[in-house]
Amino acid sequence: MKTNMKSITIISLMAASLLVVSSCQKDEMNDDNVQYASVLNVSDEGTTSIIDANLKLAFIETSEIIDSELISLLKMKEEEKLARDVYSVLSQKWGSAIFSNISAAENNHLNAIVLLLATYSAADTTIGEPGVFANDEVQTLYDELVSNGSLSVEDAYRTGALIEEMDIYDLSEALNTTTNENVIIVFENLLKGSRNHLRAFNRQLTTLGLVYTPVYINQTDYDLIVNSSMEKGKQYRMNGQSKGKGQGKGRKGQGNSGNGTCNN
């Protein structure tokens, strides 16, 4: 597994996502106001879920996803399931609300990827049984994470931080290799969710007087993330709202290229 990455990647993504614009002007088209909304729901503690209905409406018309994008989506589907399943076990083990809340959020993230795969009629939209993975390496990683997180609640929080920084690394890499706007929408928001969840686990560790040393991302990037505020994300144009048109899903959507978002 990879253990580091170029600092500029995360710093650039953080700068873009944290950019604040004072307001987002509503466009008008055929006398109807175009609607904008976030696709993220973020709790005060940082638990971050995707609003499925808004995600569907944020999708725009694109070409088919290519093989490398499909591979990335399937990989991230496994990682979101991994996170969900590990947190579910640790929730039962330690009774800490952070694990049950973030496990539910990871299930939501998993469903967002499945939604995108289904939009493009991708074959593999199935989700296996909890704790069971077809890939032997993922299965071994799952077993190790559960074992390590079961040693103590402190180790459980460290395990949570490790999973989230792994997701941050892989999502950042995936975003560097895709041009499909719908894939970018999903990955960018999953990345915000992972950074928020990393902040949440770091807060638990800090409360216990513990210092976490990152494994997948470098210390500079880690500090930049955990010392910044929870991310709410962009406002996306809700395609399909105007004049009751279609739902803006993938190839069949009513997307408007080049003007689909404005920042919060």
Boundaries of every domain in the chain: 7-21+64-233
State the pLDDT confidence band at 9, using cuts at 50, 70 and 90. low
Q: How far apart, in whole angstroms, are the C-alpha atoms of residue 35 and residue 220?
A: 38
Domain 7-21+64-233 homologous superfamily, CATH: Ferritin, core subunit, four-helix bundle (1.20.1260.10)
pTM more than 0.85: no
Total residues belonging to the chain: 264
CB 50 within 8 A of CB 189: yes
CB 81 within 8 A of CB 24: no
Nearest to 230 by CA among 102, 21, 42, 49: 42
Choose between 5 and 206: higher pLDDT. 206
pLDDT in tens, 14-50: 555 544 333 444 443 443 567 999 999 999 999 999 9
Structure tokens at 40: 């993220």
Query: What DSSP designation does 243 have?
Result: G
Q: How far apart, in whole angstroms, are the C-alpha atoms of residue 67 and residue 76?
A: 14
Exposure letters 72-86 (e unless 16+ CB within 10 A, then b): bbbbbbbbbbbbbbb
Q: How far apart, in whole angstroms, are the C-alpha atoms of residue 120 and residue 59?
A: 11
Q: Out of 6-10, 91-95, 107-111, 194-198, which region has the weakest mean confidence (pLDDT)?
A: 6-10
Q: How confident is the model at residue 240, as a pLDDT?
A: 56
Give, rounded to a whole angstrom, the gap between the first and last alpha carbons of the chain.
Answer: 35
Q: How confident is the model at residue 115, as a pLDDT?
A: 95
